Amino acid sequence: MQNRGAVDFRMALRYTGQVEVGAGVPWAPALFPSFRALSPPLALMPRTHYSLARPPIGPLAQQALAAAAEGDLAKLHALFGSEIEPSPTGAPHFALAETNTNGQTALMRAAEGGHAACVSFLAPLSDANAQTPGGRTALMLATRNGHADCVKILAPISRVLTTDHNGNSALFFSLVEKHPECLRELLPFVDSAAIFDKRQTLLMLAAKTGVADAVKLLLPLNDPKAVDASGQTALIRAAMSGDLASVLALIPVSDARAMDVSERTALDYAAAHNDAPLIEALMTVSDVDRLDTYERTLLMHAAWQGRENVVHALLAKADPKRVDFEGQCALHFAASAGHDAIVAELIPLSDLNQRSDELCLPLHEAVAGQREGATRMLLDAMGVRSVSAEDLMALAERNRQAHAERNKAFIRAEMDSILEAEALRDEVSAVAAQAAQLDDGIVEHSGNPAGHEPAAAATGSAVRRPPRSL
């Protein structure tokens, strides 16, 4: 015997179009426990597909959606122009309130496609603040796609700060999608001095997205020295985005030395981008040799990280001989990390005999890190000839295998003895050369009692005097 209640319920759902159920498929008892006893077990039911179905839209709405998507203004006039006038109460026409499968009205379709004439025609007949299932309005769709002419029509009749389900407004889309022309149309309808989430101003949001035109547009309306919840100014935001045009616009009216809560300035963030033009622009108004918590400069960090462009740009103003809390200079860091190009650039500007608190020279750091290229350059710059880079690499490898826990100290002791022997040999050679220079001389031509010139003098060669005892 068939379950009469189940059959009637299926027929009702089919008639209303709310649920589509396959033909001959029993009604699912799991959804209605009161009929569970009268329904067959789920395991015995044939597999089927249940899906929610929206009621079909009328033919007028279908034609309106198609015409709006194609920008067919003549067809929209034919459908609505001679039949209706805008409602005095502002209620939308019933066909223009219906949506497609994405939840978009005809006005949204026209705004998304940038059909300004269609938007102008449909706006008085539609609800401009209607939202898709995702919360998007016609204004958001127009702004997101950069259709400034549609934004100009919709902004006066829309709630500009309405947000979608992700918390994004039309104003946000004008910035993040980099459409300053849309922002210009939206600004008259918002409070330009408004403070948004995390104490952000519109200027900060524009600087963060790197839209120079938007930054210039908002600069007279917002305080460029204001800080957000992270202590960041608009200039810091612009440096983080890496937009040179925004940075140049903000420098004259900003404090370039301002730091955020992580004690980083705009110059620090510019260096993180490895962007030489950005660094050069900010160096003129920043403290290049500012010390961080570990008393290290930006040049030291760049040398350690191998940022060649940053090092080259900073050396125009930075002091390469500055040392950190451990007595290490930028050359120590570059040599230890093995960045040969940076080592080569720093050698002529640095003190090669600068010792850290561990009494290590940059050469020690290069050998301890087994950086053969840096070791060879430092040996040549220091004039050490008694040992080669290959010998020192072998020394470092032996030490690594036998004395890994006291690597640097062992190497320093071994190398210092080599350097001291080299210095002693150089000193002895210098003394010997000086003595030879004093002892060497040419015997003056003088009269010979026998009336004969020495054979050597006759041939024009010099006669060496007997060496004097030292």
- Please indicate, yes or no, if residue 173 is contained in any of the structural domains: yes
Q: What is the model's pLDDT at position 273?
A: 87
Structure tokens that stand for 282 in this block: 């900010």
Q: 57-99 pLDDT, tens per residue?
A: 889 999 999 999 999 999 999 988 755 555 555 567 788 899 9
What CATH code is carried by the domain that includes residue 347?
Answer: 1.25.40.20
Q: Is residue 147 part of a domain?
A: yes
Query: Is the pTM value of this prediction over 0.85?
Result: no
> Which of 220, 255, 287 delimits the end of a domain?
287
| CA 245/CA 241 separation, integer angstroms | 11
Q: Is residue 274 located within the same domain as residue 313?
A: no
- Domain end residue (candidates: 155, 190, 225): 190
Q: Is it the case that residue 157 has pLDDT exceeding 70?
A: yes
Number of domains present in the structure of the chain: 4
Least confidently predicted of 210-219, 236-245, 341-350, 451-460? 451-460
**What are the Cα distances from residue 101, in Å, to 20, 65, 92, 166, 329?**
16, 11, 19, 20, 65
Of 160, 190, 220, which residue constitutes the final position of a domain?
190
For residue 13, CA distances in Å to 6, 36, 360 come to: 11, 19, 85
Residue 304, domain member (yes or no): yes
Tell me: do 264 and 355 sit in the same domain. no
Are 148 and 216 contained in the same domain?
no
Per-residue pLDDT, 409: 65
In a domain, 271, yes or no: yes
Is the confidence at residue 300, as pLDDT, over 90? yes
The reply to whether 259 and 278 lie within a common domain is: yes
Mean pLDDT across the stretch 301-329? 94
User: Residues 214, 255: one domain?
Assistant: yes
Q: State whether 258 and 302 are in the same domain.
A: no
Residues 421-447, mean pLDDT to the nearest whole number: 61
Same domain, 79 and 155: yes
- Alpha carbons within 13 angstroms on the beta-carbon side of residue 258 total 20
Mean residue pLDDT of the chain comes to 80
The mean-pLDDT minimum among 33-37, 61-65, 224-228 falls in: 33-37
Same domain for 171 and 63: yes
> Do 308 and 232 fall within a single domain?
no
CA distances in angstroms from 233 to 217, 266, 297, 462, listed in the order given: 17, 9, 22, 81
Residues 388 and 303 in one domain: yes
Query: If you average pLDDT over each of 49-53, 333-337, 367-371, which comes out highest?
Result: 333-337
Q: Which residue range is the domain that position 247 belongs to?
A: 207-287
- Are 304 and 353 in the same domain? yes
pLDDT tens string 320-363? 999 999 999 999 999 999 999 999 999 999 999 999 998 889 99
